Amino acid sequence: MKAIKGAAELGLAQPVSINFLPNAIYKPEVCIRTTLEAARAHGFPLEQIIFEVTEGERIEDGPWFAQILREYKRCGFQTAIDDFGAGYAGMKLLSDFQPDIIKIDMDLIRNVDTNRARQAIVRSLVRLCEEMNIKVVAEGIETPAERDFLWDVGISLMQGYLFARPAFRSVATVDASAFDVPPR
């Protein structure tokens, strides 16, 4: 509720992500109802709300959890798997449920421009997501070389300190020079 209210007060036109741990959802209908009410109360578009599940916790009942995520999508929310490649869910969750977005964990991104194993993993993940019609976001970009490699393999959605530092109760100031990528 606070995230939606804050986004509305800031006049954000960009999507707002709500992160949650898989086992924190006991009654998904309550979460959905609360989010719908907050969006209506603050005039925030449902399609601009992204529910992001983090991979940091083992999912005890994958099919049940996948059904929860499908219900979020049915209600008009976007869905994402955050920190993909860093935790428990990974490919198993992806086989049960195809989100709108996968955010590749920064540990796979760090020094990707010089690490052949990471390059192969990222390239394969991009191809897999293209085939499944899933957007890919790379997290934790800190150098122009990382950005350039990711751009070259087809990732155009990126976040990290190269672009902007996190901001509290404000919109981050973006370094426009960080977007100077070579043509594909």
pLDDT in tens, 107-140: 999 999 999 999 999 999 999 999 999 999 999 9
Beta carbons of 175 and 160 less than 8 angstroms apart: no
CA dist 162 to 71, 135, 156, 165, Å?
35, 21, 14, 8
Quote the pLDDT of residue 180. 77
pLDDT at 101: 95
If pLDDT is split at 50, 70 and 90, which confidence band does 170 have? Answer: low
pTM of full prediction above 0.85: no
* Average pLDDT over every residue of 144-164: 95
- Give the right CATH number for 2-179 from 3.30.470.10, 3.20.20.450, 3.40.50.720, 3.40.50.2300: 3.20.20.450
Q: DSSP characters for 19-77?
A: EE-GGG-S-HHHHHHHHHHHHHHHT--GGGEEEEEESSS--S-HHHHHHHHHHHHHTT-
CA-CA-CA-CA torsion for 111, 113, 118, 119, nearest 10 degrees? 170
- Residue 5 pLDDT > 60: yes
Q: Which residues pair with 20 in a beta bridge?
A: 53
Tokens of 153: 């393999």
Query: What confidence score (pLDDT) does residue 107 get?
Result: 93
Contacts of 171 (CB under 8 A, 6+ apart): 10, 12
Mean pLDDT of 141-170: 90
CA dist 104 and 81 (Å) reads 9
41-98 confidence digits (pLDDT tens): 999 998 899 998 876 666 777 777 888 888 888 888 999 988 888 765 578 778 888 9
- Asked if pLDDT for residue 169 goes beyond 70, the answer is no
Handedness of CA 91, 136, 55, 98 (dihedral sign): negative
User: Domain spans of the chain?
Assistant: 2-179
Whole-number mean pLDDT of the chain? 86
Count of CB atoms situated within 10 Å of the CB of 61: 11
